[in-house]
Amino acid sequence: MYPTRQQTGAELFQLTHLASGAFERVALYFENSILPPDWALLPGSIAPGRVVGNRVESPKPTGVAWKGAALVDGKPWPVQDGEVVWLPAGKHTLSQAPAAPTARLLDLNAQLMGASVTPDGMEFSYRSQAGALARLDRQPEEVLVDQKAVLLPVEQAGDAWVLRLPRGAHSARMRFSSAKPPGS
């Protein structure tokens, strides 16, 4: 079935790379079968795009390892978790930002279409076949979906806040208080 009993190294990376090219999402089922040296390189095998210097080009939304605040295409970028900057499909330029945005979208389980920092928070557009979850670094005071104020469930999960968003293609805007959260 496979050239080796346990896929590791180049064989594992080739299999996951081919699967990511054929399917939008790839899930791996394993029971202690991925070796520790392979973990660090596995995300690169399924990355849809390429990074050259500070330029990123990808046909699909992608994440780029990044420390600190980021500017994407010269503008402050809110979609980052301190280790990764999440980008929509296309060509982008990354650079270091002088300061972090007021609030950040740490993770989104939907297709990110775009995002921006606003004077009182952030906005982003997404597409999802199922309801979407957005993980934020602070609790929003107001949430607008497609420019309409909505009351959506926001739950605290550890040091983050999880917002449940409707399925489909939507824009979401979050407004936050002007005070930064403790520890920022």
Tell me: the pLDDT tens digits for 100-127? Answer: 999 999 999 999 999 999 999 999 999 9
Domain residue extents for the chain: 1-46, 51-175
Give CA torsion, residues 22, 25, 29, 32, to 10 deg. 110
Q: Are 61 and 92 in contact (CB under 8 A)?
A: no
Q: Report the alpha-carbon distance of residue 140 to residue 143 in Å, rounded.
A: 7
pLDDT exceeds cutoff 60 at 68: yes
Tokens at residue 151, please? 């009351």
Sign of the alpha-carbon torsion through 76, 91, 51, 89: positive
Radius of gyration of the chain (CA): 18
What separation, in Å, do the N-terminal and C-terminal C-alpha atoms of the chain show? 51
Distance CA 82, CA 104 (A): 10
pTM of the model: 0.75
Q: What confidence category does residue 77 fall into, taking pLDDT thresholds of 50, 70 and 90?
A: very high
143-176: pLDDT as tens digits: 999 999 988 778 888 889 999 999 999 999 999 9
Question: Which residues are bridge partners to 171 per DSSP?
Answer: 125
